[in-house]
Amino acid sequence: MRDKPSTQATLQQVADAAGVSLATASRVLHGSGGRTVREELRARVLAEANRLRYVSHAPAQALARATTSIVGLIVHDIADPYFAAIAAGAMRAARDHDLMVMVACTFREPQLELEYVARLRAQRARAIILAASAFTGTRFLADLADHLAGYADQGGRVVAIGDHGPGVDAVIPSNYAGAQLAAEHLVSLGHTEVGVVSGPDTLATVADRLAGFQSVLPATAVAAGDFSRDGGYAAARELLTARPSLTAVFALDDVMAYGVLAAARDLGRDVPGDLSVVGFDDVPGAADVGPPLTTIRLDLAELGSRVLGLAVAPPNGSVTVPASLVVRSSTAVAR
Amino acid sequence: MRDKPSTQATLQQVADAAGVSLATASRVLHGSGGRTVREELRARVLAEANRLRYVSHAPAQALARATTSIVGLIVHDIADPYFAAIAAGAMRAARDHDLMVMVACTFREPQLELEYVARLRAQRARAIILAASAFTGTRFLADLADHLAGYADQGGRVVAIGDHGPGVDAVIPSNYAGAQLAAEHLVSLGHTEVGVVSGPDTLATVADRLAGFQSVLPATAVAAGDFSRDGGYAAARELLTARPSLTAVFALDDVMAYGVLAAARDLGRDVPGDLSVVGFDDVPGAADVGPPLTTIRLDLAELGSRVLGLAVAPPNGSVTVPASLVVRSSTAVAR
């Protein structure tokens, strides 16, 4: 009975060998259906499938079922802890639904986002999650809408983090309101001359955070850079050199704020004695930088898990997730 | 000619409409072949494919070709900056080969690693990259070897980061030699009473780093925790409370070292005045913690890009990548 089979095993043979129902074997091997299979049964099915050299022909099944167990997740850059934390949250949730997450990075190129949508469509992904902030160019948005409509025609589900238009259910971070919290915090500490380290102005997140902040506390100066530590560093150096009277800097995300802290160190500005710094996102690590960063917290793992939840549910509208102020050691009363 | 077609378009029609060869259209839409298509042609093909509602039937092609354009990447946790940086490196390299990377997280459960291998095999992934450190249980290793053999029988390619046995080409970080560098650095600063914050002893990386360190400087005490900030925090609290005479701590990875720094702060131990701390990996962010972390650097993006390179190349043996000491502000002469 332990000999290698000479002909291809069927799913029924695997189920029989493992002592489970055909439906259970199918759930384990094809990732179909929402119900979870007990760890022990799962192990037995996998072992027997392997022993019998069962080949599940997922592509053939994808043709038959028109969808796969794949969910595509499109991010700007997985090395950015913001996206990494969201992806981890989505992957944990995917596990409960027996789905696999395929992460694609656009490296902030609109053309690559279009291409990945086309690829995921061709792979018959069950859903596409647009986790990257929408680019704002109208030409791009029209092209993207076109691609997504084609995917939806095939029965694909599209969801997003951040507003991607009326047709797309989204989990929407409170970018505008969160940035207002940052401004109110600085106002309460007596800051009036404040610089903003901003991101690429083609991103909707940037526009929302900037507008929210300025609705409370108009910035003395704004400098834009890449959404990266180096981008934050360069923009902060520019700001602090041109405007030495600034007593605070708001960085539109935490990773840029890391660059602001480094620039302040290099320019001999003590944080928070000479300069207060506020970030946005509360990425893992924000509590460990020197000094621990005051920031606007989004629950990133929860964002990821909720957007995966949207991806597997029928269309039901968007949800907004709150942002909150976390005061650590990088802000103090204006000198 | 701009009307919506009523019947399904063929690849030839897309190629004609875009004014490109059939081969070029195929490369753009199916991600086959290694050659890169110019951005402009690619955009034209995608636009026409979308306009004509061309459906590429990737699953059908996968059956015909026996492989897809997917490379599976199995990591422990994508929210860990070590894996995020490796994944980003692999994704950048994948782009040059017209491949998509599908990341799966095991959350450090051996059973999930087996399951993902089975899933990727069913999806006809072109290659599987085992980026997570191998678990050391012999039962697990036998099961994994069995699954991978089945996948290889189908023509799949398996590569790894870290030694996964003789059949698997790997990019091997210098864990043993890197940990020796950490120990030599502490010896040169006069430290003799040193604690090690270690990870789960089921992981090969842990065994290698611990052995390398101890070959130079036998640890006064070792405490194990999860490979996470919280794991590092708990282990460091235990060590520093039980052994107040320790003058240095070596954490087996940077994220654990962040926890060590936090524990030292909470216990009122000044770093580096009272206590030196050394990490391992040089993850993005290690230069930004308070104080900036002395660590053993691995070029993580390069690790990711090289392992992707192995995945698309014919079997040719493993390569070792070097580790180097980066001295920042968390280490000083023993008090």
- How distant, in Å, are the alpha carbons of A125, A334, B17, B30, B158 from that of A118? 10, 51, 17, 9, 27
Q: Where are the beta strands (DSSP E) in chain B?
A: 70-75, 100-105, 127-130, 157-161, 169-173, 194-198, 221-224, 248-251, 276-278, 295-297, 319-321, 324-326
Predicted local confidence at residue A8, as pLDDT = 62
Give the CATH number of domain B64-172+302-321: 3.40.50.2300
Q: Sort strands A295-297 and A324-326 into parallel, antiparallel or unpaired.
A: antiparallel
CA distance to partner chain A, nearest, from residue B311 (Å):
17
Share of chain A above pLDDT 90, in %: 57
C-alpha span between B13 and A291 (Å, rounded): 60
Residue A5 CB burial class (10 angstroms; 0-12, 13-18, ≥19) = exposed
CA angle A9, A15, A18 (to 5 degrees): 105
Residues of chain B in contact with residue A85, where contact means CB-CB under 8 angstroms, are 79
Predicted local confidence at residue A120, as pLDDT = 86
Q: Test B122 with A42 for CB contact under 8 angstroms.
A: no
Say whether residue B59 is in contact with chain A using an 8 A CB cutoff: yes
Residue of chain B nearest A148, judged by CA positions: B50
Say whether residue B162 is in contact with chain A using an 8 A CB cutoff: no
For the record, the structure tokens of A266 come out as 């290099």
For an interface test with A, give the residue of B97, B119, B295 to mutate (most A CBs within 10 A): B119
C-alpha span between B248 and B278 (Å, rounded): 8
pLDDT at A67 over 60: yes
- How distant, in Å, are the alpha carbons of A86, A121, B132 from that of A101? 12, 14, 17
> Of the given ranges (A121-130, B38-47, B177-186, B299-308), which has the lowest mean pLDDT?
B38-47
Does the structure's ipTM exceed the value 0.85? no
Confidence of residue B23 (pLDDT cuts 50, 70, 90): confident
Residue of chain A nearest B29, judged by CA positions: A119
Predicted local confidence at residue A257, as pLDDT = 98
C-alpha span between A130 and A134 (Å, rounded): 8
Q: Test B258 with A153 for CB contact under 8 angstroms.
A: no
pLDDT at A249 over 80: yes
Asked if omega into A166 is within 30° of 0 (cis), the reply is: no
Confidence of residue A65 (pLDDT cuts 50, 70, 90): low
For the record, the structure tokens of B290 come out as 């308070």
Predicted local confidence at residue B37, as pLDDT = 76
Closest CA to A130 of A106, A154, A99, A95: A106
Q: Test B69 with A146 for CB contact under 8 angstroms.
A: no
Predicted local confidence at residue B61, as pLDDT = 56
The number of beta carbons lying within 10 Å of the beta carbon of residue B196 is 27
Q: Are B163 and B130 in contact (CB under 8 A)?
A: no
C-alpha span between A164 and A149 (Å, rounded): 13
Q: Sort strands B157-161 and B169-173 into parallel, antiparallel or unpaired.
A: parallel
Predicted local confidence at residue B15, as pLDDT = 86
Say whether residue B68 is in contact with chain A using an 8 A CB cutoff: yes
Predicted local confidence at residue A240, as pLDDT = 97
Helix ranges (H only) for A128-287 are 138-153, 175-188, 204-216, 229-242, 254-266
Q: Sort strands A248-251 and A221-224 into parallel, antiparallel or unpaired.
A: unpaired
Say whether residue B308 is in contact with chain A using an 8 A CB cutoff: no
Q: Do domains A64-172+302-321 and A175-299 have the same CATH topology?
A: yes
What count of CB pairs under 8 Å joins A to B? Answer: 197
Q: Are A71 and A100 in contact (CB under 8 A)?
A: yes
C-alpha span between A87 and A93 (Å, rounded): 10
Closest CA to A174 of A56, A297, A260: A297
Q: What are the extents of the domains in chain A?
A: 11-56, 64-172+302-321, 175-299
Name the residue among A50, A284, A291 with its Cβ closest to that of B147: A50
> Of the given ranges (A236-250, B23-37, B141-155, B269-283), which has the lowest mean pLDDT?
B23-37
Confidence of residue A112 (pLDDT cuts 50, 70, 90): confident
C-alpha span between A288 and B288 (Å, rounded): 8
For the record, the structure tokens of B52 come out as 């004509």
Name the residue among A84, A91, A288 with its Cβ closest to that of B261: A288
pLDDT at A64 over 50: no
Mean pLDDT of the B165-184 span: 94
Residue A138 CB burial class (10 angstroms; 0-12, 13-18, ≥19) = exposed
Say whether residue A94 is in contact with chain B using an 8 A CB cutoff: no
Q: Are B233 and B210 in contact (CB under 8 A)?
A: no
Q: Test B91 with A78 for CB contact under 8 angstroms.
A: yes
pLDDT at B208 over 70: yes
C-alpha span between B272 and B34 (Å, rounded): 50
For the record, the structure tokens of A318 come out as 């968007």
pLDDT at B188 over 80: yes
Q: Are B254 and B283 in contact (CB under 8 A)?
A: yes
> Of the given ranges (A60-69, A213-222, B190-199, B288-297), which has the lowest mean pLDDT?
A60-69
Closest CA to B199 of B298, B279, B283, B297: B279
Task: Look up the CATH superfamily of A175-299.
Answer: Response regulator (3.40.50.2300)
| Mean pLDDT value across chain A | 88
pLDDT at B33 over 60: no
pLDDT at A244 over 60: yes
Which residues 4-33 of A have a C-beta within 8 angstroms of B? 29-31
Comparison of pLDDT for B93 and A147, the residue scoring more: B93
pLDDT at B62 over 90: no
Q: What are phi and psi of B71, to 5 degrees?
A: -115, 125
Confidence of residue A132 (pLDDT cuts 50, 70, 90): confident
CA distance to partner chain B, nearest, from residue A164 (Å):
19
First vs last C-alpha separation in chain A: 81
CA angle A327, A175, A121 (to 5 degrees): 130
DSSP one-letter code for B21: -
Percent helix, strand, coil in chain B, to 5, is 45, 15, 40
Helix ranges (H only) for chain A are 11-18, 22-30, 39-51, 58-65, 81-96, 110-122, 138-153, 175-188, 204-216, 229-242, 254-266, 300-312
For A276, the enclosing helix (H) or strand (E) is: strand A276-278
Say whether residue B69 is in contact with chain A using an 8 A CB cutoff: yes
Residues 6+ apart with CB under 8 A from A23: A33
Say whether residue B107 is in contact with chain A using an 8 A CB cutoff: yes
Q: Are A305 and A90 in contact (CB under 8 A)?
A: yes
How many helical (H) and strand (E) elements, i.e. helices and strands, does chain A have?
A: 12, 12
Q: Are A70 and B123 in contact (CB under 8 A)?
A: yes
Say whether residue A44 is in contact with chain B using an 8 A CB cutoff: no
Predicted local confidence at residue A6, as pLDDT = 43
For the record, the structure tokens of A204 come out as 């909707």
